[in-house]
Chains A and B, each alone.
Chain A
Amino acid sequence: MQTFSFDTEQDFKAKLRELKAFSHKIQVITPYWVHDVEEILGSSPSPLKFFTLMGCVTGFVAGMGLSLHTVFSWPINTGGKPLVSLLPFSIVAYALCILLGGLFSFAGFLHLTRLPDITNPISIMPQEEYGNKFVILMEN
């Protein structure tokens, strides 16, 4: 394993482009998200959007289903409004759509990044912390 460390983003990206020609087993560690890294390394886009979509759809269906279930379960006329009032029910469905969309996104993020690694508690405190350096780790 070879380690290359840089103080600036420009030097780091230049070296990354150079090293990419030699090896496919490259990992980088940066102090913030460097947009070009994915393009240089040619990594696939994050599948997180599917988690978000799944959460939103589940939330909307759950909200609408819950509202409909309750009025059929206890069919009482309130204020002369129709029993199945889709407009008010859609507000509940919307709130749950946003809520579950957020929760699924967060769960998806933890799943995809393998965080936290509960099988090995020590890993929550990585030994190698590069601080504000831009680091390239390359397997030979």
Chain B
Amino acid sequence: MSENHNKENAFEQLDHDVLKAMGKPSLWYWLALAISSFFFAAGMAAWAYLVYTGFWPTGLNNPVGWGVLITNFVFWVGIAHSGTLISAVLFLFRAKFRSRFNRAAEAMTVIAVSTAGLFPLIHLGRLWIFYFLMPYPNQRQLWPNFRSPLLWDVFAINAYLILSSIFFYVGMIPDLAIVRRNSTGIRKWIYAIFSLGWRGTNEQWKHYSQVYIFLAALATPLVISVHSIVSWDFAMSVVPGWHTTIFAPYFVAGAIFSGIAMVMTLMIPMRKIFSLEKYITADHFESLAKILLFTSLIVGYSYIVEFMLAFYSGNIFEEAIFKYRLTGHYKFLYGMMILCNVLLPLLLFKKSLRRNLFFLFGLSIFVNIGMWLERFVIIVTSLAHEYQPYAWGTYTPQPVEIIITLGSFGMFFTLFLIFLKVLPVLAITEIKETMVAEH
């Protein structure tokens, strides 16, 4: 009898703890929201300024026509990847620790892809003709070029955004019903509408379990394909430093690496602020740390292979660009990238550090910085130092680009903070299932 009560109480306690996190925001929450909203608004204002003036305030030039804006695009798409990895891939592999992270990681995916999606639009300049990207019947019967990787990107990113949103929503339906049950007034009606009248009958669960598996199975190849397609934006060109077959796996590993780091950056403070230590333990973070270490080793290996390919090829342009990365104008950034992405994560071989959340939080910030720098270094150094010496140049981001970049972080954190207060931050139903299995 007491065991029954304990379980019932554990379930009720879980409902209570998660709903408490959705309760009245603290002063710290409002402060965090105010800061992130400020940066978001500043970013939007900077974008409006760019639309008004054209691109002259940016540092873009000939030969460096892709700079910080495209760096941000690749960075944010990468951040999105771990959400799908945690929610879909680890689900198919039955990794139980995922249930502690999947809700926040899925939210992060949807928000990060939305953030990423803005950058091609910003980079377009003439935003109002963005629909030229889409294949649509028109009077002159002009169609986009389906052999261009840039168009594959349009399809891949949109498919990823829509599928991630569906996966995020479907996974949340039973939890929204729990919130509905425990809410009152207008909130009850809102959650009632979004939980679609879910009751948890055997028929509903039967189809739910199927749709969840199918969505996971459909999302899994996207983990590989979306960032592969993003990498082909570069690899399909004949620019030295870009035109290499290693780009797809290299980008995918980097995406998962940066995404896991961002999950840590978000979840470690969230766990503390919302007192969720009981549900998200050091064991769970250690599992994430192992993925971080593993992907860091792949990324480090890719950096070595990239150099080997260049020098073994005997191609003077390839050799030149890699020497330039190491010793040219951006050598400091390259060194920082190696430090953040390869050297510091090696500390995770020590078990005590894998379980030290303070260390993991600090490391995740360094990895985020390192992965942003990686994208910057790949994009800018290759364009700055292409074939002809008389066409070489350098690029320095200008204030408007830096403000837009900070604005993207502002947007990301603003939307994530809103998520924390309007949706359940843990996958309640799944955690109940794992609690019973563990018991």
Residues on A lying within 8 angstroms of B by beta carbon are 7-9, 11, 27-34, 37-38, 41, 43, 46, 48-49, 52, 56, 63, 66-67, 70-71, 73-74, 78-79, 81, 85, 88-89, 91-92, 94-96, 98-99, 101-103, 105-106, 108-110, 112-113, 115-117, 123-126, 128-132
Q: Which residues of B contact A (CB under 8 A)?
A: 3-5, 7-8, 11-12, 15, 135, 141-148, 151-152, 155-156, 158-159, 162-163, 166-167, 170, 174, 177, 180-181, 188-189, 192-193, 195-211, 214-215, 218-219, 221-222, 225, 229, 429-430, 432-433, 436
CB pair A131–B181 under 8 Å, yes or no, is yes
Find out whether the CB atom of A38 lies under 8 angstroms from the CB atom of B196.
no
Tell me which of B155, B156, B188, B210 contacts A49 (CB under 8 A). Answer: B210
B interface: dominant SS: helix
Option from A43, A92, A113 in Cβ contact (under 8 Å) with B146: A92
Q: With A8-B4, A94-B225, A98-B222 as known contacts, state yes or no: A31 contacts B214, CB within 8 Å.
A: no
Instruction: Please name the residue on chain B nearest to A6 by beta carbon.
Output: B4
A88 near B162 with CB under 8 A, answer no
Verify B202–A31 contact, CB threshold 8 A.
no
Cβ of B158: which chain A residues have Cβ within 8 Å of it? Answer: 99
A contact residues around B202 at 8 Å (CB)? 27-30, 37-38, 41, 43
In angstroms, Cα B174 to Cα A129, docked, is 12
How long is the Cα–Cα vector from A109 to B167 in the complex, in angstroms? Answer: 12
Residues from chain A with a CB closer than 8 A to the CB of B222 are: 98
Residue among A48, A73, A74, A132 making CB contact with B211, cutoff 8 Å: A48
When the two chains form their complex, are residues B201 and A105 in contact, meaning their CB atoms are under 8 A apart? no
A78 to B207, CA, bound (A): 47
Q: Are the C-beta atoms of B180 and A95 separated by less than 8 Å?
A: no
Closest to B436 in A: A9
Q: Are B11 and A31 in contact (CB under 8 A)?
A: yes
Please judge, given known A-B contacts A115-B197, A117-B197, A126-B197, whether A95 and B146 are in contact too, CB under 8 Å.
Answer: no
Nearest neighbor of B434 in chain A, beta-carbon distance = A32
Chain B residue, CB-CB nearest to A67 = B146
A117 to B329, CA, bound (A): 63
Flag if A105 contacts B205 (CB, 8 Å). Answer: no
Interface of A is mostly: helix
Chain B hits for A30, CB < 8 A:
200, 202, 205
Nearest CB in chain B: distance from A79 CB, A: 8
7 contacts between A and B (CB under 8 A): A30-B202, A38-B206, A71-B146, A102-B218, A105-B211, A113-B204, A116-B197
Q: Residues of B contacting A71 with CB < 8 Å?
A: 143, 146
Q: A7, B7: Cβ atoms under 8 Å?
A: yes
Alpha-carbon separation in the docked complex, A132 to B428 (Å) = 11
Given contacts A92-B146, A125-B189, A132-B15, contact A33 B208 (CB under 8 A): yes
- The answer to whether residues A91 and B229 also contact, given A27-B202, A105-B214, A106-B170 and a CB cut-off of 8 A, is yes
With the chains together, A11 CA to B436 CA distance in Å? 13
Closest to A89 in B: B146
Inter-chain contact A109/B143, CB cutoff 8 Å: no
What A residues does B200 contact at CB under 8 A?
Answer: 29-32, 130
B146 and A33 contacting across the interface, CB-CB below 8 Å? no
Q: How far is the CB of A15 from chain B (nearest CB, A)?
A: 14
Task: Report the Cα distance A103→B206, complex, angstroms.
Answer: 18
Min CB–CB distance A7 → chain B (angstroms):
4
14 further interface pairs, Cβ-Cβ under 8 Å (given A27-B201, A109-B207, A124-B197): A7-B5, A9-B436, A29-B199, A30-B200, A32-B429, A34-B205, A38-B206, A46-B206, A73-B141, A98-B163, A101-B214, A105-B214, A108-B207, A116-B196
A83 to B390, CA, bound (A): 36
Q: Are A31 and B163 in contact (CB under 8 A)?
A: no
Do residues A99 and B229 form an inter-chain contact, with CB atoms below 8 A? no
* Contacts known (A34-B205, A46-B207, A115-B197); A98 close to B221, Cβ less than 8 A: yes
Bound complex: CA of A131 vs CA of B141, how far in Å? 57
Question: Considering only CB atoms, which chain B residue lies closest to A135 in the complex?
Answer: B200
Asked, given contacts A38-B206, A132-B12, whether A115 binds B196 with beta carbons under 8 Å apart, the answer is yes
Cα–Cα, bound, A44→B204 (Å)? 13
* Cross-chain contact B163 with A102 (CB below 8 angstroms): yes
In the complex, A108 Cα to B215 Cα: how many Å?
Answer: 12
A102 and B195 alpha carbons, distance in the complex (Å)? 19
**Interchain CA distance A32-B15 in the complex, whole Å:** 13
CA distance A30 to B12 in the complex (A): 14
Residue of B nearest to A71 (CB): B146
- Find A115's partner among B181, B204, B229 (CB 8 Å cutoff): B204
A91 to B4, Cβ gap below 8 A?
no
Query: Are B145 and A78 neighbours in the complex by a CB distance under 8 Å?
Result: yes
Q: Which residues of the other chain, A, contact B197 by a CB distance below 8 angstroms?
A: 115-117, 123-126
A113 touches B155 (CB 8 A): no
List of A residues within 8 angstroms of B174 by Cβ: 32
- What CA separation (Å) do A96 and B436 show in the bound complex? 39
Q: Is the CB of B146 within 8 A of A132?
A: no
